[in-house]
Structure 1
Amino acid sequence: MASYLIMTPPGAPADDERARFIADGFSWVSFFFPALWLMAKRAWLLGISVAVLQILLILVSTLPGGFTAALILQLALSLVVSLEGPLFIARKLAAEDWTLRTILPARNIETAEEIYFSNATATAHHRSATPLQSIEWSKTGRTEKAAGLGLFESYGER
């Protein structure tokens, strides 16, 4: 079962149709094509940085004795992007003032949408309910308070 981060645009209500469902889990597409996956998710700076690193690793692999090192570094880069990619996207959206509404465990995205929108409709009638605000990022991109998401948890320690 995967966990889905549900984020809504700035100023939007909880039951907005533009809510983004971000699957927090391993992605095969991002493992095999990390730079293209990041660019498809509109994380341009990260995508370009990963593409440059991949090109440099290809150049290193042509050097004598560099193939093994380049292969290991390429696998490590792909693993980091495929495991941490959803958190990169969530942080990018949070920097654009999107609101993290909740985190739902669900079998697939259709089930997550059904659970979320049925709960969002029910709580829309009860204005006393407040949205989950477990991730807050400052404008500098540093975490102020963060949920335990991803491989590398950032709770403010060094």
Structure 2
Amino acid sequence: MAIYVVMEPPGRGEKPDTTAFVRDGFSWLGFLVPPLWLLLHRLWIEAALAFVAMALLSMLAEGLNFGLAGPLLSLLVSLYVGLEGQALRIAALRRRGWHEWGVVAAGRIDDADTRYVLEAEAHSDEQAPAQRIVPDAAHARPAHMGIALGLNHTPGRP
């Protein structure tokens, strides 16, 4: 079974079909063609960075006559996108204001959608959403506003 991270759009009153399901795990297409996979998922900056990194590593290996090590350096970028591509998608959705509803385990994306709808209906009838364990940094305030010099400052103590 696969694990899907369920991301909901910024407005809670929107249609439920706008919910995004991001499959957690290795992305073979992201491994084989990283810039194209990133462009497919509208990760423009990440795609440009992956393309530039692959091109620079190839040119560096060509200029220094690394031989077989040249293509292996570009393989590092491919491996990174294959392993962390789905996390990059989730981070991009968070930057756009989407929030994480939770995770759903299912064999296919259709089953994940069905499980999400059933669980969302069950939780909406029971109670309000649970409080976040990790608060947003935008709402946090520093405990002590005094001047601190060096490593000997303890927050909350004068």
Q: What TM-score range do you get, normalising by the shorter chain?
A: 0.7 to 0.9
* 1:95/1:137 contact within 8 Å kept: no
State the partner residue of 1:94.
94
8 Å Cα contact 2:62-2:70 kept in structure 1? no
**Paired residue secondary structure (1:42):** coil
Q: Residues 99-152 of structure 1: CA distance to partner in whole angstroms, max 9, x if unpaired? A: 1001122222111111111111233333x141685777757xxxxxxxxxxxxx
Contact 1:61 1:67 in 2 (8 A): yes
Tell me which amino acid in the other structure corresponds to 1:101. Answer: W
**Paired letter, 1:17:** D
Structure 1 runs of 4+ with >6 Å offset? 134-137
**SS of the counterpart of 1:66?**
coil
Cα pair distance change 1:54/1:7, threshold 3 Å: same
RMSD (Å), alpha carbons:
2.5
Which one has a larger percent helix, Structure 1 or Structure 2? 2
Instruction: Name the residue aligned to 1:4.
Output: 4
2:107 matched to which residue of 1?
107
Residue 24 of structure 1: CA displacement? 0.8
Q: Which amino acid in the other structure matches residue 29 of structure 2? A: V
DSSP-derived class of the 1:125 partner: helix
Q: 2:43 is matched by which residue type in structure 1?
A: A
Q: Which residue in the other structure is 2:129 paired with? A: 130
Which residue does 1:51 correspond to in 2? Answer: 51
TM (norm. structure 1) is: 0.75
Cα distance change on mapping 1:4 and 1:137 into 2, 3 Å? farther
Find the aligned partners of 2:131 and 2:30 in 1 and give their Cα distance.
28
- Aligned-partner SS, 1:62: helix
Residues 22 and 86, structure 2, Cα contact 8 Å, conserved in 1: yes
Secondary structure at 1:114 match in 2? helix
* Long gaps (5+) in structure 1: 140-158
Larger radius of gyration: 2
Write the distance in 1 (CA, Å) between the matches of 2:33 and 2:136.
28
Matches within 5 A, 1:1-158: 1-13=1-13, 16-63=16-63, 65-126=65-126, 128-130=127-129, 133=132
Identity of aligned residues (%): 30
Q: Using the alignment, how far apart are the partners of 1:85 and 1:135 within structure 2?
A: 24
Structure 2 unaligned residues grouped into runs of 5+ = 139-158
- TM-score, reference length from structure 2: 0.75
